[in-house]
Amino acid sequence: GQNIDQPTEMTATEGAIVQINCTYQTSGFNGLFWYQQHAGEAPTFLSYNVLDGLEEKGRFSSFLSRSKGYSYLLLKELQMKDSASYLCAAYYGQNFVFGPGTRLSVLP
Amino acid sequence: GAGVSQSPSNKVTEKGKDVELRCDPISGHTALYWYRQSLGQGLEFLIYFQGNSAPDKSGLPSDRFSAERTGGSVSTLTIQRTQQEDSAVYLCASSSRGPYFEETQYFGPGTRLLVL
């Protein structure tokens, strides 16, 4: 199967930096998505990495290493509103495989 | 500027009935995706349409599920002979060109399906 692994829960402090890791199987891999989902709401697209390297979008950055089957989402200057689940998903041909999601709690 | 819309927003049905869920993507978007999310669970990919091309149906959970996209725009997801395990939020998303491009996917608000 095409398993996606990410931590199920993380806690961080307001103003801090947090890195959420995601590993995936590389065979047939095309790209890696990150989504944010607040409780009771639809997901919001954050990023999509196809090439190796770091892509920065404001306080959020996403990194991909295709050879290692590894990605991370970096959140800087954490705010209380960043408390949410962060979903990692790998795109394989016509199929998307989602990880279980990482529930991030930002504490004051 | 309309976003992705889905209807109905909520649907309660009896086990064994058929249901039809609708998705209107953003105008001009060629890619359309269906996902579902059971209570407290992660997202599960169902099917993806790219323009008028025939989709890969292997992600659909059973042969009771079918999806079509007419004219490269509106899509319907049909569940026949619904079962209680079909209860979930069904989410639709669209993007301009498709997942080979680094571009934003836009999600609709979802249809909450409850099978009694």
pLDDT at B101 over 70: yes
Token pair 């491009």 in the structure block, residue: B101
- Residue A1: pLDDT band (50, 70, 90) is low
For residue A40, the model assigns a pLDDT of 87
Give the neighbor-by-neighbor strand order of the sheet with B5-7.
B5-7, B19-24, B75-79, B65-69
Average pLDDT (A76-95) is 93
Nearest to B43 among A50, A95, A98 (CB): A98
Q: What letter represents residue A31's amino acid?
A: G
Between CA A86 and CA A69 the distance in angstroms is 18
The answer to whether the CB atoms of B45 and A35 lie below 8 A apart is no
The predicted structure's pLDDT at residue B33:
93
Nearest CA in chain A to B31: A94
| Interchain pair A42, B103: CB under 8 A | no
Residue from the list B48, B105, B106 with its beta carbon closest to the beta carbon of A94: B48
Q: What percent of chain A has pLDDT over 90?
A: 87
User: pLDDT for A39-82, tens place per residue?
Assistant: 989 999 999 999 999 999 899 999 999 999 999 999 999 999 99
DSSP lists the bridge partners of residue B79 as B19, B65
Interface check B106 vs A, CB under 8 A? yes
What is the rounded CA–CA span in Å between residue B86 and residue B62?
10
At B47-80, the pLDDT tens digits run 999 887 888 888 899 999 999 998 878 999 999 9
pLDDT tens-digit series, residues B11-42: 999 999 999 999 999 998 999 999 999 987 78
Nearest-CB residue to B42 (from A45, A50, A100): A100
Backbone conformation region of residue A94, classed left if phi is above 0, alpha if psi is from -120 to 50, else beta: alpha
Query: Quick check: B42 and A98 CB within 8 A?
Result: yes
Encode chain A in three state secondary structure: CCCCECCCEEEEECCCCEEEEEECCCCCEEEEEEEEECCCCCCEEEEEECCCEEEEECCEEEEEECCCCEEEEEECCCCHHHCEEEEEEEEECCEEEECCCEEEEEEC
Q: For residue A42, which of A74, A79, A3, A85 has the smallest C-alpha distance?
A: A85
Q: Residues B58, A95: contact at Cβ < 8 Å?
A: yes
A97 → chain B, closest CA residue: B45
Q: Which two tokens stand for residue A83?
A: 């408390």
Spatial separation of the C-alpha atoms in residues B9 and A44, rounded to whole Å? 18
